[in-house]
Structure formats: C-alpha cells, structure tokens
Structure 1
Amino acid sequence: MTPQFSAYLDLLRLLAALAVLLSHANSRALIDHSILPQSFGHNAVVVFFLLSGYVIAYVADVKEKTASSYWVSRFARIYSVALPALALTLLCDLVGAALNPGFYAGNLTTHDHWLLRLAASLSFSNELWFVSIMPFSNSPYWSLCYEMSYYLLFSIWAYAPAARRGLYLMLAALLIGPKILILAPIWALGVVLYRWRAAQALASAPGALLWLASVAGIVAFQTLDLSKSLSAWTAAQLSPWLYLNLNFSKHFLGDYLLALLIAANFIGFRALVRDGASGLGALMQRLHKPIALAAGFTFSIYLFHLPLLHFFTAVLEGSTAGYGRYLTVVGLALAASVLLGSVTETQKTPLKRWLERQLLPRLQRWRG
C-alpha cells in the first residue's frame, strides 16, 4: 500500500466518522430543521465496512500470519476504545438524566435491563440474528457487532485448516444469523479489492476517469437519496416483521450499490496516485503524516460522539431555531471525543502486549 493511497484511505475514514457525527447532530432537540438527509450517517458506515475489509486483508497478508496474532490485534484495537466508550456512555447517560430527566425520558428509552445491555455489548452479541440490544444511548456501537462477526468469518477463511474451513464457516454463520450476513458482501468486497491484481494494474488515465465517475455517482446517490428509495421498495417486498427486524441491515440494496461506487472510487484513486508523480499524488504524499495523525482519532470520534452529543444537548439549554447552540454542542462533542481519544488511542499497544502475555502462552499450551 503506497503512502499516497494510505493517506487517501485515512482521509475517507476521518470524513466518514465526521459524517456520522453530523448525522446524529441532525436532531430536532438540537436544531429545528433538517441539515442532512437521514441516510447520510448510515451511508458513511458503508465506507467503514469496505475500508475494514481492505485493511484487514492487508494486515493479514503483511503482518498477522497466525490466527493468534490476528485475534490479539483485533481485541486490542476494539477493546482499547470500546471499553472506555461504554463507560463514557453510562456516565453521560446517568449524569445527563440526573440533570435533565425530561430530555432522556423523551428521547432515550435504552436504560432498562442494564446488565443485559452491558453483557451483550462486551461480547458484541447485540445484533446476532434478529436481536437488537442497544448499548444504552450509543447506537453507533451496532457496527462493532457486525465488524466482530466479519473478523470471525475472515479468520476462519484465512487461518483455519482447509479440511475444516467449510464446517467452521457454516457454524459461524449459524451463530451470526442473517441480519449481519446480509451486509457481509460489502465487507468482503474490501478484501477482494486488496487481492484483485487486475484492478491494481489499471493505468493512471482510466483510473482518473473511474475516480471522477465514482465521485459523481456517490454524490448522485446521496443527493437523490437512493438508499431511501431502495429501502422503500425492499419494505414493499418483505413482510413488515422481517423488514423491521433487519434493523440496520434493511437498507441493504442501497448499501450494495453504494459499496460498488466506493469500490470503484478506491480502484480509480489507487491507479491515479500509484507512481506519486501526479499533482494529486504529490499532495497526498505531503499530507500523509498530518492526515494519519488526524485519522488516528477516527475510532474514538465514532464511538464517543453520540453520548456526548446527548449530554451536551441535555445540559446546554437554548433555542433550536439558530445555529449557535448547534455549533456549540457539536464543537464540544467533537473536542471531547478527540481529547478522550488522545488517551484511549494510546492504549492499543499496551493492551496488545498484555494480551500477548496472557493469551499466547495459554494458546500454545492448549495446542501442545
């Protein structure tokens, strides 16, 4: 992966996290008119899934040669931010509800059965089959449950003995259920993009055309809100119960189309900046380090922003007619996410080393 393309992926990752934040800030409790389409944040998660598949395929190919090293890295990455996110969500919800009980009673109904919610969140089982257990007010957490399922499927495909791979994949699929599996092709497309050698050989001129066409397609997809239209068609084809219980996967047709557009965008940009000689390639080369630094807060922004948005919306009273309170709440949520991220993002390596000391010797003894 070249520095130019790596910088581009980091930039997309950061922009997707900010898009999710702005989508959740589009609340009538914060501003009285709609700023963004409702689908804006969900579409950004499609970017995350495709990026995740691509990056996981890369690290498995280059760095993580065994299932043990793969899972130690995954647990260290996820739990280093997920655990603080759950603690922050509980703290914000409890303090916010004490200061403004009316806001939380009227807007959030996810504080019952807290032990069940916490256990499901810690085990990433919130979205298995047709279950949907919200981790208190932190709805973006749903995508982590999908991610962990895809990590499991990929680890079986990449590391399991060939003779048992099919059986293990079938058992994993039975555990995960159709709701998560229906979006698995999007994550798998990221893996395909990394391994697809023919796409990597695309020349820069057609790459530039493909990239521009994909940008136009993505803009049209969002402007026309095709996700909403395709979701309405899906709802008409499925039973009301099934459509409702697909929950975050019910927009799958639009998600598939958007994923193809994003995949084309990846292929085109990778070809455009491959040799680093183009002006855009040179720019991405110069911006590689600052983009990587900013993108290092992406996971924290994604997991911390919503309970913070709820909290600041609840405690900072003001008019919803103008932009003053809106900008204040969004700015505080973003600043607090970055500040907390400056601590949590540094815990991945220590946690990884601790897991290596605790888990790897036990795995070796179990295998021996």
Structure 2
Amino acid sequence: MLVAVQSIQPSSVQYERLSTSFSIVIDALRIWASLSVLASHIQFGWFGKYECRLFMNGHDAVIVFFVLSGFVIAYSQAKNHRDFRSFVAARLLRLHSTVIPALLITLILSVATSFANPEFWGEHARGHQALSYFACLLFVQDIWFRNMVPSFNGPMWSLGYEFFYYAIFATVLLKQSWTRWVSAIALALMAGPGIVLLFPIWLFGVASYRLPKICMLASTLIFMISLLSYVTIASNGFEHPSQPGTPPLLYANAFVSDWLKGGLVAVMVYSLRTILDFEVHARACQWMRRIGDLTFPIYVVHLPILALFGAFAKKHPGSNEADSPGLLLVALLAITVVSVALEASRSQVNAMMLRFVDVALNRKNVSVTSS
C-alpha cells in the first residue's frame, strides 16, 4: 500500500484546473453525502418514523467522503506544492478549526440533553466521556479496535481515519529522507488494521485526480457502467464481510464491499473530469461552493442537535408515539444556523489558533534562551 502511495510523486504532478461544471457536481455530491448522513440519523426514530429514500445509507456516504477527500487533497497539493510542514499545518488547521468548536457544542448539548430527558440520555450515554473528547482532539478515537467518540457525536469516528490518511500521504510523498518509510509504517501501526483497511478507498480518490484523462466516449461508457454497478450494489445492501459498526473491525468491517463501492465512486469522479470539461456561470459555482463548505460543519454538529430535540420529543427507536415533525423542523433549522455560524467563524478560529501557536513558540524560545 505504501508503494502505491510512493508511486504518486508530487514532483511529477501537473496541476490541472477543474472546470466550473465539474466543481458544481463535486460540491453537489458532497452535499448529498452530508445530507445522507443526516437522514440516516433522522431515521433513529427520535422524532417518529421517517424514511428518506432519496439518500444513501450513512456508511456509504462516509465512503464517498473518503474518495472526495483523497481527490481534493491530490488537487490541492498539485496546485499549492506545499512542503511537509505547511501541508501538516494546513490540514490540522482545517480539522481543528471546526472540530474544536464542534466538540464544545457537543459537550454543551450533551449536558442539556441529560437535563431535558435523563432516561433518554442514560440509554445513549457512553463511558469514559472525558477521554473520548481528548481522543477526538488528537484524532486517535478509532485506533486499534477502539471507538472513543462522544455519546451524541458518533460521526467523529471518520475524522480519525482521515487524519492518519493525511499523515501517511504527507510522510511518504513530502519527506525526502529514507526514514519516511519507517515513519509511515509507524503511523500505520499506530492507526491499526481498521483505519489501514479503508486507506485504499482514500487512495482511489487520489488516483481519480492523478490519472490522465481519456476520450469522451470511453469516459461516458465507463461512467454509465460504474453508475449502474454502484446503484445495483448499494440498493441491494451489499456489505461484506460483515456489517459496519460492529466488532471487531467496527467501521471497517465491510471493507471488501467498501473497496468496491469506493472504487466505483472514484471511477465516476475520474470519468466526470472529461465529461464535464466545460464552463458554467461563475456565480452558480460560487454559490454551490458556499453550500458545499457547510457539509463539514453539518457532519460534525447535526447529531448532538438532533439528540437534544429528540430528548425533548421524548422519543425512542421503536416508539409508537405520534410523530414530532415540528421539533424535527426546528432541529433542522438549528443545524443549519449552527453550521453557517461555524463556517463563517472558521477564519477567526484559524487566526486564534495561529496566535496561540505563536505565543507558545515564543514562550518556548524565551525559556530556552534564559536557560
């Protein structure tokens, strides 16, 4: 697997600008995946029985996110040519600028949920909550058969996977010393088999940007075959070797079917680079990008908000009580408002984090000098 990463040499990557039509479709796919995760949690039954047939299941949506993440990182690195330090800094800022506020929101809403409906909270609360928040800050929440995420923020599991994918990618490609191989193997061993097993899906996304384009006819045929195959497999609920989310590999339990689905998504993305090689109105692209940028905040804050309003509705999975569409609508509005606020404040959070790092480094330099 590390050899596959090594074959993607940054020096040989030629930056290719993406068309506005392609960008719109990729942003639309991000939005659909994010809403699919949201829809899968609405179906927990906290607000009554709802079926969201227009969306894929939540785990398949995360697989789509992994493919798109690999694609975007490959595109961004080809465009910006960051060195190791700047790459790691950019990734950590992007993650922490949303994760830290999201964890704070999760903590506040979890406490509110425990007061709103202690029985509801007790049924869903996990142990070692303080440790789970700390693990999420370090992105080690899912190493080695663990799933240390806050009680009402299960989607945090995937961020630990992505963190290690970024780290291995940067270590192999952006470090020059032979020790990069030792470092990459150490990172893989630290991550554990679950995270490593889904790494090929992320690399499929990288390849979908790196591979050279082919002709329009071949791209169209490949896209149609891949789309038909994906719909057939996903609609039949194919999960192999076992259902994701259960021991021993937890969210990597269905790694074989996840490889297949992720590969098909990557092939479709690759084909669309040729099919959608035309421009549309720039303003449409800008608006779609703004909406697409909300997908990360929505992903990390929607479940604690749903849980709080679900507690007020006094609903439980399998309940025969009347539906609560009003509370669900209020919850969806709250998710939208909080997500917009998080994205709008991201630059300010980035600036605060950079100032904190500068102060910490300056203090360290002063202490070293004085000693």
Provide the C-alpha distance between the structure 1 equivalents of 2:120 and 2:81, rounded to a whole number of angstroms. Answer: 46
Letter in 2 for 1:313: G
Deviates more, 1:78-87 or 1:216-225: 216-225
* Counterpart selection for 1:311 from 294, 308, 313: 308
Structure with the higher helix share, 1 or 2:
1
Superposition map of 1:279-358 within 5 A:
282=280, 287-316=284-313, 321-322=322-323, 324-325=325-326, 327-347=328-348, 349-351=350-352, 353-354=354-355, 357=358
* Counterpart selection for 2:195 from 177, 180, 191: 180
Taking structure 2 as the reference length, the TM-score comes to 0.84
**Does the Cα contact within 8 Å between 1:312 and 1:333 map onto a contact in 2?**
no
In structure 2, the residue matched to 1:109 is 125
In structure 1, the residue matched to 2:223 is 211
Superposition map of 1:162-181 within 5 A:
162-181=177-196
Once the 2 structures are TM-superposed, how far is the Cα of residue 19 of structure 1 from its aligned partner? 0.7
In structure 1, the residue matched to 2:269 is 266
Letter in 1 for 2:201: I
Provide the C-alpha distance between the structure 1 equivalents of 2:335 and 2:52, rounded to a whole number of angstroms. Answer: 18
Instruction: Flag the 1:215–1:162 CA change in 2: closer, same or farther, 3 A.
Output: same
SS for the counterpart of 2:309 is: helix
Once the 2 structures are TM-superposed, how far is the Cα of residue 222 of structure 1 from its aligned partner? 2.2
Provide the C-alpha distance between the structure 2 equivalents of 1:47 and 1:360, rounded to a whole number of angstroms. Answer: 38
Once the 2 structures are TM-superposed, how far is the Cα of residue 43 of structure 1 from its aligned partner? 0.3
Once the 2 structures are TM-superposed, how far is the Cα of residue 90 of structure 1 from its aligned partner? 0.7
Provide the C-alpha distance between the structure 2 equivalents of 1:330 and 1:76, rounded to a whole number of angstroms. Answer: 28
Provide the C-alpha distance between the structure 1 equivalents of 2:361 and 2:202, rounded to a whole number of angstroms. Answer: 28
SS for the counterpart of 2:145 is: coil
Superposition map of 1:143-292 within 5 A:
143-197=158-212, 200=213, 202-227=214-239, 230-232=240-242, 244-274=247-277, 276=278, 282=280, 287-292=284-289
In structure 2, the residue matched to 1:74 is 91
Gaps of 5+ in 2: 1-16, 366-371
- Any runs of at least 4 consecutive aligned residues in structure 1 with deviations exceeding 6 A, and if so which? 359-364
Once the 2 structures are TM-superposed, how far is the Cα of residue 150 of structure 1 from its aligned partner? 0.6
Superposition map of 1:353-368 within 5 A:
353-354=354-355, 357=358
Provide the C-alpha distance between the structure 2 equivalents of 1:333 and 1:317, rounded to a whole number of angstroms. Answer: 18
Once the 2 structures are TM-superposed, how far is the Cα of residue 344 of structure 1 from its aligned partner? 3.7
Taking structure 1 as the reference length, the TM-score comes to 0.84
Provide the C-alpha distance between the structure 2 equivalents of 1:157 and 1:351, rounded to a whole number of angstroms. Answer: 30
In structure 2, the residue matched to 1:46 is 63
**Does the Cα contact within 8 Å between 2:33 and 2:65 map onto a contact in 1?**
yes
User: When the two structures are aligned, how many residues end up with a matched partner?
Assistant: 345
In structure 1, the residue matched to 2:11 is none
**Does the Cα contact within 8 Å between 1:296 and 1:345 map onto a contact in 2?**
no
Provide the C-alpha distance between the structure 2 equivalents of 1:22 and 1:77, rounded to a whole number of angstroms. Answer: 25
In structure 2, the residue matched to 1:238 is none
SS for the counterpart of 2:44 is: coil
Once the 2 structures are TM-superposed, how far is the Cα of residue 24 of structure 1 from its aligned partner? 0.8
Gaps of 5+ in 1: 236-241
Provide the C-alpha distance between the structure 2 equivalents of 1:320 and 1:294, rounded to a whole number of angstroms. Answer: 35
Once the 2 structures are TM-superposed, how far is the Cα of residue 336 of structure 1 from its aligned partner? 3.4
Superposition map of 1:115-134 within 5 A:
115-134=130-149
Provide the C-alpha distance between the structure 2 equivalents of 1:35 and 1:296, rounded to a whole number of angstroms. Answer: 23
Provide the C-alpha distance between the structure 1 equivalents of 2:276 and 2:121, rounded to a whole number of angstroms. Answer: 48
Letter in 2 for 1:208: T
Letter in 2 for 1:288: C
Provide, for residues 177-204 of structure 1, a one-character-per-residue CA deviation record: whole Å limited to 9, x for no partner: 111100000111111222212xx2x122
Superposition map of 1:136-147 within 5 A:
136-147=151-162
Provide, for residues 95-150 of structure 1, a one-character-per-residue CA deviation record: whole Å limited to 9, x for no partner: 111111111112x122x323212221111111111222122310000001001111
In structure 1, the residue matched to 2:9 is none
Instruction: Flag the 1:350–1:251 CA change in 2: closer, same or farther, 3 A.
Output: same
In structure 2, the residue matched to 1:239 is none
Once the 2 structures are TM-superposed, how far is the Cα of residue 320 of structure 1 from its aligned partner? 5.1
Instruction: Flag the 1:121–1:353 CA change in 2: closer, same or farther, 3 A.
Output: closer
Provide the C-alpha distance between the structure 1 equivalents of 2:146 and 2:266, rounded to a whole number of angstroms. Answer: 30
In structure 2, the residue matched to 1:29 is 46
**Does the Cα contact within 8 Å between 1:80 and 1:351 map onto a contact in 2?**
no
